[in-house]
Amino acid sequence: MPQITLRIPTPLRGFTGGASDVAVELDDGEATVGGALRALGAKHPDVTGRILTDDGALRTFVNVFAGDEAVRDLDERVADGAVLHIIPAVAGGTAR
């Protein structure tokens, strides 16, 4: 069973019991980025709504990196030992 590590950013650690890394094990059929995020949600239910929409898509203000690659397609496969880095979208400015 592929094991994936998810790196949790500071603002979401309140929903993961303070954990900065969460390891999940996936069935082969679920070895995707989306599968890993859902498995994270199964361990820490409160984090799901912060990362995924009700339809299961990635929220626009969250980025997920597999290695150096930004992932938007949650069906993208992940290999055993992969590290997924969750990065909050950071924006703002003078306007308004």
Partner 1 sequence: MSDAADPPPDTVDADAPVTASLRLTPAQRAELEAWCADAYPDEGCGLLIGPPSAPAGDGRLTYRVRRVTRARNLNVARARDRYVLDPADFLAADRAARADGLDVVGIWHTHPDHPPRPSITDLEAAWDGYVYLIVRASADAVGPMRAWQLGASRRFVELDVETDAGAAAADTRAGADASKDDALKEPAPHPDAGASS
Interface residue list for partner 1 (CB under 8 A): 7, 9-11, 13-14, 20, 61, 63, 65, 68, 70, 85, 87-96
In whole angstroms, how close is the CB of 95 to partner 1 at the nearest point?
Answer: 4
Task: Give kind and range of the element (H or E) at residue 48.
Answer: helix 45-51
Two structure tokens written together for 7: 């790196």
DSSP state of 59: P
61 vs 76 by CB, closer to partner 1: 61
In whole angstroms, how close is the CB of 81 to partner 1 at the nearest point?
Answer: 17
9 vs 43 by CB, closer to partner 1: 9
Sheet order of strands, 21-25 included: 21-25, 3-7, 83-88, 62-66, 69-71
